[in-house]
Amino acid sequence: MDIDDHKLIALAREVLPFAYAPYSGYKVGAALLTAEGRVFQGVNVENISYGLTICAERSALTAAVTAGCRLFSALAIASEGEKEPLPCGACLQVLREFGNFRVIVAGKQNKFLTFTLGELLPHPFV
Ligand code: THU
């Protein structure tokens, strides 16, 4: 199946109900598209020790790497919020390790914003 930006956002939204966010109440879903056309989904997983929280983007990335995938073409991130969920600085650095692919973000509205990782983190630690 050909996966366009709309489909990738739909796959990020699909897992929103599985996000574990009892502390912030802010659920995030992610869908990471590999160069071969496979998709790995992830959600944020919070912890009572707040700093141990794993963001949705890193959940999706670790699932993909665990399956042997390291080449990516796009990442969709969805939230139920008004504003589009831009990845945090820590996630940008972790994602950037694996290239300069596209990032599509969508809040609850039917509006997407699209960036490259390089635009969001122009000067990563290397
Ligand atoms: N969060 C993500 O999962 N991804 C983002 O891009 C930004 C923030 C999560 C972390 C935490 O569980 C909640 O959103 C509120 O910060």
Return the CATH number at 52: 3.40.140.10
Q: List pLDDT tens digits, range 77-96.
A: 999 999 999 999 999 999 99
CA of 54 to the centre of ligand 1 (A): 8
Q: What is the pLDDT of residues 10-42, one digit of tens each?
A: 999 999 999 999 999 999 999 999 999 999 999
In a domain, 88, yes or no: yes
pLDDT at 1: 60
Of the residues 55, 61, 62, 83, which should be mutated to test ligand 1's pocket, given the most ligand atoms within 8 Å of the CB? Answer: 55
Active site residue 46: no
The answer to whether position 126 is within a domain reads no
Residue 44 lies in a domain: yes
- The pLDDT mean for the chain works out to 97
**Domain for residue 30, yes or no?**
yes
Mean pLDDT of 63-87: 97
- Which of ligand 1's atoms lies nearest the C-alpha of 23? 12
- Nearest Cα neighbor of 93 from 113, 121, 68 is 121
Residue 56 lies in a domain: yes
44 CB less than 6 Å from ligand 1? yes
pLDDT at residue 44 is higher than 70? yes
- Residues spanned by the domain of 32: 5-120
Is-above-0.95 flag for pTM?
A: yes
Q: Within a domain: residue 95? A: yes
DSSP state of 6: H
* Number of independent structural domains in the chain: 1
pLDDT at 2: 80
- Tell me whether residue 125 is in a domain: no
Is 64 within a domain?
yes
Percent of the chain with pLDDT over 70: 99
What's the token pair of residue 69? 């995938």
Spacing, Cα 42 to ligand 1 middle (Å): 12
- Ligand 1 close to Cβ of residue 114 (< 6 A): no
Give the pLDDT score at 27. Answer: 98
What is the per-residue pLDDT across 91-116, written as a single tens digit (0 to 9) for each? 999 999 999 999 999 999 989 999 99
Instruction: Extract long-range pairs of 89-98: CB within 8 Å, 24+ residues apart.
Output: 89/121, 90/55, 90/58, 91/55, 91/57, 91/58, 92/117, 92/120, 92/121, 92/124, 93/121, 93/124, 93/125, 94/57, 94/58, 94/61, 95/57, 95/61, 96/121, 96/124, 98/61, 98/70, 98/71, 98/72
Q: Is the pLDDT of residue 60 over 70?
A: yes
